[in-house]
Structure 1
Amino acid sequence: MLTEAQFKNFKLLRDVRLPLGRLNVLVGPNAVGKTTVLEGMHYLLQLAAAKPESAIIHSGGLFLGEVAVDDLVAKPDATELELGAVLEDGRRFRLLARAATKEPQPEWGDLWFGKEGQETKLPLFCDDHAKEQSFFKGPREAELGSVVRLKLHAETLAAEHYSEEEIPGVGYDGEGLASVLQYLQGLRDGTLDAIERDLATIVPGARRIRALPARVRRREKQRISVDGQDFWADRSRDVTGARFEVEWEGLGWMPADQLSEGTLLALGLITVVRFDAPRLVLLDDLDKALHPVAQRKLVAHLRGVLDATPHLQIVATSHSPFLLDELRVQEVIVMSRAGARGSALRRLDEHPTSQKRGAYLRPGELWSLVGEGWVSEGVG
């Protein structure tokens, strides 16, 4: 399990340490860096998931091209950033990356792994495959790369889908949910039954789920050769994919595109957690589109999943005091702007009055009362 995430000069996070438990929910005003925390953790831990022969190429794809180091370092003066994750045994997985300061100097970076003072180093873009494989052995054995980041969208979750993968998966925005449900329906290992029970608990009236064949139009590039020259043309073809429906008490079967946003988001999250669950789930807007009662049921469900899955951790963002009311005070991390010092964060139980007020206030009520201003007090 991860006990801490570390950020230096990563966008708004100039020097931030995030303590981690099993369930962690970040709260605070907009544009304070809640999503940036998820983004930084995902950038770092993806590196441990790359295949040995492509690890460094993969890491370069994160910080070059569309997403360059210069786009990620704190503005206006930083040229280097650092991301880190600390394991229970004290080992750290770290990335240090520097932006190109002048032409033609390239960006560069290093990965580090091990206990402080005993870390091994691997330069990014190293062409020594034996050194790569030796370095990544530790992070992979610790399953640091078992991470998924989600920002689910209802329309994408509800869409018909075609997958060429032997075992499909749910994407960052919810793409592929229909294919996963179809796969689980054929697998008949009890996972789909568990998803149905979970959904019925969170969304009253929901019953069974079924996946059905669907004609899906795919757009592809086709190469055409004329007089020795190659041209690429768009081509469309129909393939057999999947769609899904949910049975409702008293209403019968309803197609996915007629389900509420809250139902689709809950179903997408439940499916990700139940199906081939990663070790770490990073989730934007945990409360999105859910009624306060459903938010409370979702937290209860997630707590049950955490109890049944000892290796699982969840880091999420929220703006809902109703959802926070179902958390323990130490599971709430409050974020605040700290002026030129970027952003700061503290656990809600660090507030000077949390112990006294916690005797009669729930975490959401306490947060609503004390706000975020206290977080940046005393930050150096």
Structure 2
Amino acid sequence: MRGGSCTRPQARVNERAAMLTEAHFKNFKLLRDVRLPLGPLNVLVGPNAVGKSTVLEGMHYLLQLAAAKPATLRPGSPFWSKRAVEDLVAKPDATELALEAVLADGRRFGIRAGAAKEEPEPERFHLWFGKEGQETELRLPSGDQEEERLFFRGPREAKLGSVVRLKLHAETLAAEHYSEEEIPGVGHDGEGLASVLQYVQGLRDGTLEAIEHDLATIVPGARRIRALPARLKRRETHRISVDGQDFWTEQSRDVTGARFEVEWEGLGWVPAGQLSEGTLLALGLITVVRFDAPRLVLLDDLDKALHPVAQRKLVAHLRGVLDTTPHLQIVATSHSPFLLDELRVQEVIVMSRAGARGSALRRLDEHPTSQKRGAYLRPGELWSLVDEGWVSEGVG
């Protein structure tokens, strides 16, 4: 498996040092002052519009910075759009937000961003990395690309930028695909799955077989996977210059891409477009974590479209992958008590609204009756019983 475990003791120590132990959100949308404890597997639960996806969004925004190129770091660009801070800062009164991730060895990577008070003032960014009291700092705009390059060397060496946020869609996962990349990848919505399956099929290194085994474990009846050529129309825009004037024209050309099928017991080979949503979502997630797994996977709706039995098998599969891939961490959202029943109580993070104070969160094992009731209730049952109201009690 690419990106798999390493048997060298020192390498394992380094992998653990690169694990995230906490994320901190300050005035980021609904998250006015929230600290999220992190282990290998973390599942956020709570009612709608409480900030579960906002947690994933904030972590993604921050950690993408670790992979940014110095030349792209200009006012607004750390959050990928002009006046982004103004759109992300907590309403109605906050003018500055902060995001921070803490590594197991105590190093912190964070950003404080201030909204512009008026045009044409730029938004302001202050970044830091290192152990408390020993941080290297960077203010943007700096005007010094060498300073920026030196600052980001630390976060890059810690591989903080190895993060993917997934919000998979069945139709996109099933689509035929063409890639010009030497090594294709699965997009946040599932785009490119066919190209990745075609690539791993050609590797013949056991990755495809591992994906097939995982899928068969989660979805009974699934057997082999095969990628096949697909003729696609690719639209391209070309510039034509006539007498010093530029004109743009669209042209299409035939290219050879990829499609895939799954063999089912008793049915034979079934095209991707005829597979169930649950099968496609499970296959997409499996492929991401089996093929060149990132350090951190952020996943909306872990239980989406899966039967309760399949949800339980998915958790067991992810736990097995985490056990053999020491650098990998997963932060996901869910609404399913069936899925939570397969988790450890400390892996469940409950979110609640705290009125004007925004949102709050606590691990389920922090509930006053967790230890007593945990002796006879599973985490999903405990969550269903205690609800979320207790989370915001005592939040100042």
| TM-score normalised by L of structure 1 | 0.97
Contact map agreement 1:9 1:73 (CA 8 A) in 2 = yes
Counterparts of 1:121-140 in structure 2 under 5 Å? 121-140=137-156
Counterparts of 1:176-215 in structure 2 under 5 Å? 176-215=192-231
Counterparts of 1:184-333 in structure 2 under 5 Å? 184-333=200-349
Aligned-pair CA distance for 1:359: 0.5
Tell whether 2:16 aligns with 1:16.
Answer: no
Aligned-pair CA distance for 1:63: 2.9
CA distance in 2, matches of 1:349, 1:31: 23
Aligned to 1:358: 374
Aligned-pair CA distance for 1:72: 0.2
Aligned-pair CA distance for 1:224: 1.7
Paired residue secondary structure (1:285): coil
Aligned-pair CA distance for 1:66: 5.6
Tell whether 2:31 aligns with 1:31.
Answer: no
AA aligned opposite 1:303? R
Counterparts of 1:93-172 in structure 2 under 5 Å? 93-172=109-188
CA distance in 2, matches of 1:260, 1:308: 29
CA distance in 2, matches of 1:65, 1:4: 27
Tell whether 2:73 aligns with 1:56.
Answer: yes
Counterparts of 1:33-48 in structure 2 under 5 Å? 33-48=51-66
AA aligned opposite 2:222? A
Paired residue secondary structure (2:147): helix
Residue-by-residue CA offset, 1:280-321 (whole Å, 9 max, x unaligned): 100000000000000000000000000000111000000000
CA RMSD, Structure 1 to Structure 2 (Å)? 1.2
Aligned-pair CA distance for 1:236: 2.0
Paired residue secondary structure (1:327): coil
Contact map agreement 2:233 2:254 (CA 8 A) in 1 = yes
CA distance in 1, matches of 2:80, 2:225: 42
Paired residue secondary structure (2:73): helix
AA aligned opposite 1:375? V
CA distance in 2, matches of 1:67, 1:101: 11
Contact map agreement 2:71 2:145 (CA 8 A) in 1 = no
CA distance in 1, matches of 2:118, 2:140: 19
CA distance in 2, matches of 1:61, 1:238: 36
Paired residue secondary structure (2:27): strand
Paired residue secondary structure (1:212): strand
Contact map agreement 2:52 2:351 (CA 8 A) in 1 = yes
Contact map agreement 2:184 2:195 (CA 8 A) in 1 = yes
CA distance in 2, matches of 1:64, 1:141: 23
Contact map agreement 1:60 1:125 (CA 8 A) in 2 = no
Aligned to 1:348: 364
Residue-by-residue CA offset, 1:266-286 (whole Å, 9 max, x unaligned): 000000000000111000000
Q: Please identify runs of 4+ aligned residues in structure 1 that moved more than 4 A.
A: none
Q: For this pair of structures, how many residues does the alignment match?
A: 378
Residue-by-residue CA offset, 1:316-362 (whole Å, 9 max, x unaligned): 00000000000000000000000000000000000000000001000
Aligned to 2:13: none
Residue-by-residue CA offset, 1:137-174 (whole Å, 9 max, x unaligned): 21111111111110000000000000000000000000
Compared CA separation, residues 22 and 305, structure 1 to 2 (3 A): same
CA distance in 2, matches of 1:262, 1:62: 35
CA distance in 1, matches of 2:217, 2:104: 33
Paired residue secondary structure (2:120): coil
Residue-by-residue CA offset, 1:80-123 (whole Å, 9 max, x unaligned): 00000000111100011111112222111111111112111111
Residue-by-residue CA offset, 1:57-95 (whole Å, 9 max, x unaligned): 5x8434353661100000001110000000011110001
Which consecutive residues of structure 2, in runs of 5 or more, have no partner in the other structure?
A: 1-18
| TM-score normalised by L of structure 2 | 0.94
Paired residue secondary structure (2:134): coil
CA distance in 1, matches of 2:369, 2:197: 47
CA distance in 1, matches of 2:286, 2:353: 33
Tell whether 2:383 aligns with 1:367.
Answer: yes
Contact map agreement 1:47 1:55 (CA 8 A) in 2 = no
Contact map agreement 1:60 1:124 (CA 8 A) in 2 = no
Q: Percent identity?
A: 85
